[in-house]
Structure 1
Amino acid sequence: MSLARALVISAFKTRAWSVINMSSAGLRALQPCHETPLVSTLCYSSSSSQGQQISSSPSEHKIHLSDSCVKRLSEIMQKGEYLRIQVEGGGCSGFQYKFSVDTVRNEDDRVFEQNGVGVIIDEESLEFVKGATLDFSQELIRSSFQVLRNPQAEHGCSCGSSFSVKV
């Protein structure tokens, strides 16, 4: 047996054992998350002299944040920073989610704040994700923010970053 093949087999056995030998704490992390309500706030822009009152909208017009999402955002965000969610054309299913850190709140942005962290999304993108849940997922090969249970999506690709819209 070649040295390279022996190393691959050894690495595979080690990885398989670490997956099988997962602690009970790791299994608890796979349990469904509990969501807490968000508060939507009014945005002011430097280009307008006064803000417009945004009426309270039903829960399906909001973005829900999982506990793991709120925890991760509080760990990585600085004061005045928000996680921006955008929906763009592209991906293998027609539309894709784009996440970025932003400090600017535009006039057409909706701000969702919870436990000191904020998520902003423009009105156009909100139409594609209203009622969805934003989660932070940690796996063996990656950690990422993901949109889960999107009632506006018909189906998505396996990577979780692209989706098609219900017609």
Structure 2
Amino acid sequence: MDDRSMERRLDDLERVEAIKALKYRYWRACDGKDPDAFRACFVSSGASIDFGVLGRFDDADRITQVFTDIALREVDGRPVILDMHHGFHPHIELHGETEASGAWTLAFRQIDLLHGTETVSSGEYDDDYRVENGEWRMSRCHYSVRWSITRPLTSDTVVVQ
């Protein structure tokens, strides 16, 4: 293997790792209730976003507002929605130095203290990524639920936050 080929392979690995880091930042922003970090994961304008029951959007500003309304809702000064996003099985394909696509599996858990429910689900992300201002961002983020179960929290359920 020549040095040029080795350098290209290393550059590609660095791109893939940067895209993985982007998706992990996105899930941390979701669970950490951080709208600014959430929004920063998407391109500045024109993102294609499809989150099923949460809606379809042609820009990340609108989904950021939906996220803010849900994630930051409080009752008596405490959050009423508690989320856990665990993403894995990434499959990243590079389409040059500044474009890529990816697929991920999500294990999701949500406690809704307002309605007294717990939801556990599994789904798939289908994403596109683009370098913008030197950073990888999501330009397309479509999520589809594979399965989901919602059950009531019992009277003896203790939630510590």
Structure with more of its chain in helix, by fraction? 2
Structure with more of its chain in strand, by fraction? 2
Higher alpha-carbon Rg: 1
TM interval, shorter chain, is 0.3 to 0.5
TM-score normalized by the length of structure 1? 0.32
Which structure has more relative contact order (CA 8 Å, sep 6+)? It is 1
